Chain A
Amino acid sequence: AQSVTQPDIHITVSEGASLELRCNYSYGATPYLFWYVQSPGQGLQLLLKYFSGDTLVQGIKGFEAEFKRSQSSFNLRKPSVHWSDAAEYFCAVGAITGANNLFFGTGTRLTVIP
């Protein structure tokens, strides 16, 4: 069965510190992988995506993620967190067949302290 696990419900980091959000997936076919961010009172916004090719993908706002097939992981990273990065982050896995087959994780809430 397809599933996405984000093991950290809530993470707190200091501004300027590095960040890594974990995502593990279970998927029967070649996965398409996404990270979305949701600021308070907003909808979800795509940060980055992996379809194929280079396993290290760059996204908006200075985020990057690395696809590791052997570990079924797609962790999100940022070298230096800004206060405006405080939000909820969702990992999602899907298939080439389209967004109607997209599975989302339960999200990780990021708090940034000054």
Chain B
Amino acid sequence: ETGVTQTPRHLVMGMTNKKSLKCEQHLGHNAMYWYKQSAKKPLELMFVYNFKEQTENNSVPSRFSPECPNSSHLFLHLHTLQPEDSALYLCASSQEGGPNTGELFFGEGSRLTVL
């Protein structure tokens, strides 16, 4: 139990579907992240929210849309995805600005398959 919960754990969707991934952190952290994990590739940082404000968007296609309604919740809205978007999507949180800056706490991930 890492204090970061992701739902759903598994998701299969067609290319025309719209779905959302949800992340909730119970650690009181001030930053949340979406990462994409694909086989044989380094983790790819997709989005960063500090104090609910988006501070990073690493050239992610617009078919991925993040939402951070408060400092504990983070969503990733998905629409018209491509098969190459199939991957494990990891949510993480951290407490930035203090002695534990840079230390990430990860959820278990949402395994996405796009048909």
Establish whether residues B104 and A46, one from each chain, have CB atoms under 8 Å apart when the complex forms: yes
- B-chain residues with CB within 8 Å of residue A99 when the two chains form the complex: 31, 33, 48, 92, 94, 96, 101-104
Q: Is B74 an interface residue (CB 8 A)?
A: no
Task: Name the distance in Å between A48's Cβ and chain B's nearest Cβ.
Answer: 10
A-B contact count (CB 8 A): 69
A sample of 23 inter-chain contacts (CB < 8 A) reads A32-B101, A34-B102, A34-B103, A36-B104, A41-B108, A42-B108, A43-B108, A44-B106, A46-B104, A46-B105, A90-B43, A94-B102, A96-B101, A98-B31, A98-B96, A98-B101, A99-B31, A99-B48, A99-B104, A100-B31, A100-B33, A100-B45, A100-B48
Query: Would A100 and B55 be within 8 Å (CB), given that A34-B103, A45-B106 are in contact?
Result: yes
Docked complex Cα distance between A111 and B25 (Å): 31
Q: Is A104 an interface residue (CB 8 A)?
A: yes
- A-chain residues with CB within 8 Å of residue B56 when the two chains form the complex: 100
The 5 closest A-B pairs by CB, nearest first: A43-B106, A104-B43, A100-B48, A44-B106, A104-B42
